[in-house]
Amino acid sequence: MLEISLRLTCLLNALAAGTTTAAHAEEHLNRWAVAHHVNDPDELLALPDHDPIASLPIRQALARLEHGGVGHTRAPESAAAGIVRTDPEAPTAWELVLPTPGNYAGLRGPARIVSEALDTGTAVICHQGAWAGTMWIGTRVGHGVHWRILRANPPLPPMSPLEALQELRAQMRHTADLLEGLGLSAGERPDTVAPRLGSGYSSGDQAVLETAWTVWHACQAGLDSAHEVLTAHGVRTRLDALYHLRHAAGQAITAATAWPRTARPPH
């Protein structure tokens, strides 16, 4: 779901900027899964005659976002006071987040929704503007994708791409030193190519994504493999290093997707 969720993020930002249409966005998503359906149990989209239990074609949800709608800035009832303020007049901006146990990727509740995001490992959430806190969580169903649109608290503001890249590079150096101390090499470069963010993003955003994408997949491959020659301490040290590096790569993926040209972060 990582690549499809990233593509949805970019398309939602393009819709917000008025540079694509719901029909085109649906057509693009269908290249990666033959059908996309949406369930809106909290009725955030306020679609007429919508059954909150039923699912609808994704084009209807995208069209609602394309043509504005009212969005929402009210927090879920379980939200803690004082942490959900957002400026509804700010440009709408969506981000891809990659939460893991112990690192919630800026998500601030409610716990039920954070738990759902942890289960899937990816989520798309609006971090500023009238739709702040609106979250998409997708799961594969056969050859298609089923999306749930949920009301979350607006997340912590994401880093700028430059900040995230600097942090990622520092973590890469630290991890390389730790692995060298264990007598391990960095491993092979993964055979993966980062998706294109699209014309709404800068070449710098794309460069950050490409670095972070490669590192994230390398960490994932490393976490999926074992090194039997290491001591128990060495195994733990290696795993901790890879977890921290994967988290930094995930932050950089988030930052690369979060700030299209129409919603650049303040300097």
Within the chain, strands assigned E span 36-39, 55-57, 93-97, 123-128, 134-141, 144-151
* Residue in 103, 145, 102, 93 with CA at minimum distance from that of residue 124: 93
User: Any idea of the CA torsion for 148, 6, 125, 259, to the nearest 10 degrees?
Assistant: -160
Closest by CA position to 141, among listed 3, 5, 12, 1 = 1
SS3 66: helix
Q: What is the pLDDT of residue 75?
A: 40
- 129-158 pLDDT, tens digit per residue, is 999 999 999 999 999 999 999 999 999 999
Do 108 and 153 meet the contact criterion of CB atoms below 8 Å apart? yes
Give me the residues of the chain with pLDDT under 70, please.
68-86, 88, 186-187, 227-229, 265-267
pLDDT at 114: 96
Alpha-carbon distances, residue 44 vs 76, 95, 115 (angstroms): 12, 18, 20
Cβ atoms of 169 and 208 within 8 Å: the answer is no
CA–CA separation, 138 and 146 (whole Å): 6
β-sheet bridge partners, residue 141: 144
> What pLDDT is attached to residue 224?
84
Distance separating alpha carbons of residues 166 and 183, to the nearest angstrom: 26
Residue of 104, 141, 133, 109 whose CA lies nearest to 121: 104
At 4 the pLDDT is: 96
pLDDT of residue 51: 76
* Cis peptide, bond prior to residue 157, ω within 30 of zero: no
Q: Are 36 and 57 in contact (CB under 8 A)?
A: yes
pTM of the predicted structure, to 2 decimals: 0.89
